[in-house]
């Protein structure tokens, strides 16, 4: 499940391959836009908004994509054959590069002027130019009874956190995922740490929250149910939390987090 930092890096790669160049091919393999053709339009930029990607053209068109669970964008030379067959949802190509979108959870075309329809619901973007920690904190606190593990995943509160960072942030702050938001005194510290964690990871693929990039050592609690806590040795727990079936399992140390 790509989180905000992975989407940020994907946007940068798409931007490098497409921006400033004229599309020589667009191939939408989703029923709603199967006949769309953006050939001849120049891509002006690709920007991330939370976990959403917006690729804009000089014709006032935005291609909105979202990776969801298994999606990815791959960049390859225009002359090579796009691999992936039935997994491909969208190809955008110029005379040098082609960007091949695999298993994208969202593919849609909309007027750039109407992007708010796609991303207007999002809270402050942790990696965005308009990052606003006070507004993120205000939105989180607006529903004080809600378990903090759920609130952090709600992209309307703040945009960019997925299941891995949620679990790791709460471990590092010593907060049980089921604690109500209203009982978390230092939400500002939690929000600040979220920003630093995504920012520190955005330039690399793969997530590291422990400072150790070796395989099997990258996380404190995420994916480690039944194994000893790296701090106290208590066995890490896991359980379902929240309404989103895609990202409901959470991990925590019952001793370090209260």
Q: Kindly list the catalytic residues.
A: 2-3, 51, 248
Q: How far is the CB of 189 from Zn ion (least distance, A)?
A: 19
Annotate 156-192 with b (16+ C-beta within 10 A) or e (fewer). Answer: ebbbbbbbbbbbbbbbbbebbbeeebeebeebeebbe
Q: Return the range that interacts with Zn ion (CB under 5 A); candidates 44-52, 201-209, 211-219, 250-258.
A: 250-258
User: Please, which residue, 175 or 253, has the CB nearer to Zn ion?
Assistant: 253
- Is position 253 an interface residue for Zn ion (rule: CB under 5 A)? yes
Q: How far is the CB of 236 from Zn ion (least distance, A)?
A: 8
Q: Measured between alpha carbons, how far is 101 from 53 in angstroms, rounded to an integer? A: 12
Mask of contacts with Zn ion, 197-236, x by CB under 5 A? Answer: --------------------------------x-xx-x--
User: Please, which residue, 98 or 176, has the CB nearer to Zn ion?
Assistant: 176
Q: How far is the CB of 190 from Zn ion (least distance, A)?
A: 18
User: Please, which residue, 181 or 229, has the CB nearer to Zn ion?
Assistant: 229
Measured N-to-C along each axis, helices 187-201 and 4-18 cross at an angle, to the nearest 10 degrees, of 40
Are 218 and 207 contacting, i.e. CB atoms less than 8 angstroms apart? yes
Handedness of CA 146, 149, 153, 158 (dihedral sign): positive
- Is position 255 an interface residue for Zn ion (rule: CB under 5 A)? yes
Token readout for 42 is 């120049």
- Is position 59 an interface residue for Zn ion (rule: CB under 5 A)? no
3-state secondary structure of 18: helix
Q: Measured between alpha carbons, how far is 16 from 78 in angstroms, rounded to an integer? A: 14
- Is position 256 an interface residue for Zn ion (rule: CB under 5 A)? yes
User: Please, which residue, 161 or 256, has the CB nearer to Zn ion?
Assistant: 256
Q: How far is the CB of 257 from Zn ion (least distance, A)?
A: 7
Q: Measured between alpha carbons, how far is 43 from 46 in angstroms, rounded to an integer? A: 8
Tally of helices (H runs) and strands (E runs) in the chain? 6, 10
Number of residues that bind Zn ion (CB under 5 A): 7
Token readout for 228 is 């000893």
Q: How far is the CB of 216 from Zn ion (least distance, A)?
A: 18
- Is position 167 an interface residue for Zn ion (rule: CB under 5 A)? no
HSE-CB for 241 with a 13 A CA cutoff: 25
User: Please, which residue, 54 or 229, has the CB nearer to Zn ion?
Assistant: 229
Q: Which residue is nearest to Zn ion (CB)?
A: 229
Q: Which residues bind Zn ion (CB under 5 A)?
A: 229, 231-232, 234, 253, 255-256
């Amino acid at each position: 499940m790509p989180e905000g930092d992975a989407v940020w890096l994907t946007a940068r790669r798409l931007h490098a391959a497409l921006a400033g160049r004229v599309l020589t091919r667009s191939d939408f393999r989703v029923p709603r836009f199967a006949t769309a053709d953006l050939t001849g339009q120049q891509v002006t930029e690709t920007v991330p908004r939370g976990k959403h990607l917006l690729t804009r053209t000089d014709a006032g068109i935005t291609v909105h994509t979202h990776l969801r669970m298994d999606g990815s964008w791959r960049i390859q030379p225009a002359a090579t054959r796009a691999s992936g067959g039935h997994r491909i949802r969208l190809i955008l190509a110029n005379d040098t590069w082609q960007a091949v979108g695999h298993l994208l959870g969202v593919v849609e075309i909309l007027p750039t002027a109407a992007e708010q329809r796609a991303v207007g619901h999002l809270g402050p973007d942790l990696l965005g130019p308009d990052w606003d920690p006070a507004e993120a904190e205000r939105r989180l606190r607006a529903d004080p009874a809600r378990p903090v593990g759920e609130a952090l995943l709600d992209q309307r509160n703040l945009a960019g956190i997925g299941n891995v960072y949620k679990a790791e942030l709460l471990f590092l702050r010593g907060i049980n995922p089921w604690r109500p938001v209203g009982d978390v005194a230092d939400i500002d510290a939690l929000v600040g740490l979220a920003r630093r964690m995504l920012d520190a990871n955005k330039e690399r693929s793969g997530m590291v929250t422990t400072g150790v990039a070796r395989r099997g050592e990258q996380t404190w609690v995420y994916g480690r149910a039944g194994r000893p806590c790296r701090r106290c040795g208590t066995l890490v727990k896991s359980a379902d939390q929240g309404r989103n079936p895609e990202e409901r399992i959470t991990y925590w140390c019952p001793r370090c987090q209260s």
